[in-house]
Amino acid sequence: MTTRRGAPWLRMFIVFAAAMLTGIAAPGIRSAGAAPPAPAKCTLTPSDAGDPAYKPNAPVRSSVGTGFVLSGVVRSGIDCKPIPHARVELWLRGPDGQYDDAHRATVITDASGRYRLQSNFPGGTDYFQPHIHIRVAVSGFRPLVTVFLPRAGTREGTLDLVLEPEM
């Protein structure tokens, strides 16, 4: 997984602004009275605050372009076992740097918990490096919203997603 780069104050501003706009808690912030998360046996995938460009019900498809492939396995944070038939939503900016419906997809994990999306290399802007947003919602687990940051010049990336159990 690629780490985030850029001005730390800008990342924090974006995370908290998105949290305020979407009503989703920012990473590391828990609502008053919320129970502490259940202990996990494998490292959970960090969750972002969300993205105002998210639109639910992206069409089920495995391709939204060509030139880049993102794949991985969705796993349980309880025992690290793969989660089959998980709904993985992905959205990214097109080559013109804009979000559009042509660059949104839902993929369903196979019996081994694997997902794969073929796309163009994500478009970037002056303010944001190229990235792919990912949202996974599975019954019995907290929804996960995260971002994959591909390295410039690459044609593929891998991101395993480990979900936190609801307790």
For 47-96, how does the pLDDT look when each residue is reduced to its tens digit (9 = 90+)? 987 788 889 999 999 999 999 999 999 999 999 999 999 999 999 999 88
CB of 113 closer than 8 Å to CB of 82: yes
Of 32-46, 114-128, 134-148, 152-166, the range with the lowest mean pLDDT is 32-46
Return the higher-pLDDT residue of 20 and 91: 91
Per-residue confidence band for 36, with pLDDT thresholds at 50, 70 and 90: low
Specify the pLDDT at position 41.
74
Share of the chain above pLDDT 90, in %: 62
Q: Output the CATH code of domain 8-163.
A: 2.60.130.10
Identity of the highest mean pLDDT range in 3-7, 19-23, 98-102:
98-102
List, in order, residues 6 or more apart from 131 with CB less than 8 Å away.
92, 93, 122, 124, 147, 148, 149, 150
Residues 107-111: contacts with CB under 8 Å, at least 24 apart:
107/60, 107/61, 107/62, 108/60, 109/73, 109/74, 109/82, 109/83, 109/84, 109/85, 110/84, 111/84, 111/85
Q: Positive or negative, the Cα torsion across 55, 100, 106, 79?
A: negative
Over residues 28-53, mean pLDDT: 65
Edge-first strand order for the sheet with 144-148 is: 99-108, 87-93, 132-137, 144-148
- The pTM for the full model equals 0.74
pLDDT of 38 over the 60 cut: no
